[in-house]
Amino acid sequence: MTFKALLASRIERTVSVDLVEMSEDQLMAGDVSIDVDYSTVNYKDGLAMAGRPGVIQTWPLIPGIDLAGTVTASDHAGFAPGDRVVLNGWGLSQTHHGGYAQKARVNGDWLIKLPTSISTHDAMAIGTAGYTAMLSILALEHNGVTPDRGAVLVTGANGGVGSVAVMILAGLGYRVIASTGRPEEADYLTGLGAAEIIDRNSLSEAGPPIAAPRWIGAVDSVGSHTLANVLAQTDYRGAVAACGLAQGVDMPGSVFPFILRNVTLAGIDSVNAPTSARLQAWDRLARDLDLAKLATSVQRGGLAGAVQVGQDILQGKVRGRTVVDVNG
């Protein structure tokens, strides 16, 4: 039997992503087989499908860094047929076939059983973006950032990480400041729980090495000058979780926030996070994320439309989350 998949191929420097029919013997090695229900489109997926260096490392490859579905066969002690599972990161869309297919075969150590309250659709409405947002919030909590200490900034607030971070932080009682380059989306962000909207341009250019404090913590998915300015305006003993690089991989700042204000910069890696961190993040997502509110930020499409969504994400045209129905 065959199944549908998006397959990324490269000939010299030209990358193409095509909807194809594949057979199960074309899947890669793994001890768990899955009927995939849904995947999603993240910023990294946009990079992969555009052929940007450093993402897809084995060609041809099925993109998609996320998947959720049901186990159909397993030689792994932790999983059995019928288990509902989610997979975020690891080697997907880099060295191993990813989630943009109706079937998957993966290493069971990469999988997490879904909490009973989260459907496979919900899991991909959350996706790596939402899971990364929760890892970031856990880092802020670990470093003592609590609602009573002041506001928390979320940069790239219209994006997948930002939207989920705003929702969760607001639900936990934080006063959330949302940074966006699209002022027309202010109502959307306040609907998610943001108390204040600021223009991303106020953070995106070179600024002073340290400035008047405006927040006690931040979730930053932007990097570069934005991250440097966020750190410069973080209050004493605050913390910033850095989880993205939409503006750039550089950080042209100074040590002043660290040595004058004791600010902590916490790096967030969602790809290779250990199982214990993943379980904690998904348990907290089940507890702290309002799935009804999340649904207001989700759009849905099929495999054929994923490439265009990836392009739109790279151009900053997408808000919230996009779920890919691989069987639709």
Question: Looking at the domain assignment, is residue 318 inside a domain?
Answer: yes
Question: Same domain, yes or no, for 34 and 64?
Answer: yes
Question: Same domain, yes or no, for 202 and 92?
Answer: no
Look up the CATH number of the domain holding residue 65. 3.90.180.10
Q: How far is CA 140 from CA 135, 186, 267, in A?
A: 9, 25, 11
Q: What ranges make up the beta strands (E) of 250-297?
A: 264-267
Q: How confident is the model at residue 54 (pLDDT cuts 50, 70, 90)?
A: confident
Q: How confident is the model at residue 13 (pLDDT cuts 50, 70, 90)?
A: confident
Q: How confident is the model at residue 319 (pLDDT cuts 50, 70, 90)?
A: confident
Question: Looking at the domain assignment, is residue 249 inside a domain?
Answer: yes
Question: Looking at the domain assignment, is residue 250 inside a domain?
Answer: yes
**Residue 208 structural domain:** 129-267
Tell me the pLDDT tens digit for each residue of 192-248: 999 999 999 999 999 999 999 999 999 999 999 999 999 999 999 999 999 999 999
Question: Same domain, yes or no, for 316 and 242?
Answer: no
Mean pLDDT, rounded, of the chain:
96
What sign has the CA pseudo-torsion 22, 24, 30, 36?
positive
Question: Same domain, yes or no, for 257 and 134?
Answer: yes
Question: Looking at the domain assignment, is residue 279 inside a domain?
Answer: no
Q: What is the pLDDT, as a whole number, of residue 33?
A: 98
Q: How far is CA 211 from CA 150, 219, 234, in A?
A: 16, 18, 8
Question: Same domain, yes or no, for 107 and 149?
Answer: no
Predicted model pTM: 0.94
Tell me the pLDDT tens digit for each residue of 265-283: 999 999 999 999 999 999 9
Domain count, the chain: 2
